[in-house]
Amino acid sequence: MNPSPAVPVVCAVIADAAGRLLLAQRPPHKHLGAKWEFPGGKVEAGEDPRDALSREIREELGCTIAIGAPFPVFTHDYGTVRIEMLPFRCTLAPESTPPHPHEHTALAWVAVNDLQSYDLAPADWPIVAALR
């Protein structure tokens, strides 16, 4: 039996002027509740990944981003679902309001060297490895 196709998921690795990265904490009632993640979400059918990322960040954080270079794409298998992770380097757009956790319980700006002290979602660890 062929496994179902991976669900395309985008995420924003948003850096501030000091080089810290924005993490968002998932709500406790959701899949991977209370884990920290690079914010983003599913790409809708026919949607460009960059457009999906801009939409997801507006919906989840109420801010706008400038999307830069992509990280390598990879697949992560959660057992119940496989995702194709499409991460992008980002910054807040100059005209953006500060991020606010509309769908998350908390936000944190974290130095790259401190990321390992957060309980990250498993699919985000390859991004941390790519940052080092």
Is pLDDT at 2 greater than 80 in this prediction? no
Give me the chain's average pLDDT, please: 94
Quote the CA–CA distance of 98 and 80 in Å, as a whole number: 34
Quote the CA–CA distance of 53 and 69 in Å, as a whole number: 13
- Structure confidence at residue 132 (pLDDT): 82
pLDDT tens by residue, 70-105:
999 999 999 889 999 999 999 999 999 999 999 899
Q: What is the sign of the dihedral through the CA atoms of 59, 130, 28 and 24?
A: negative
- For range 98-121, the mean pLDDT: 96
Lowest model confidence (mean pLDDT) among 2-6, 50-54, 92-96, 107-111: 2-6
Assigned CATH for 7-131: 3.90.79.10
Among candidates 2, 21, 3, which has minimal Cα distance to 12?
Answer: 21
User: What is the model's pTM?
Assistant: 0.93
Residue 100, judged by CB atoms within 10 A of its CB (0-12, 13-18, 19+), counts as: exposed
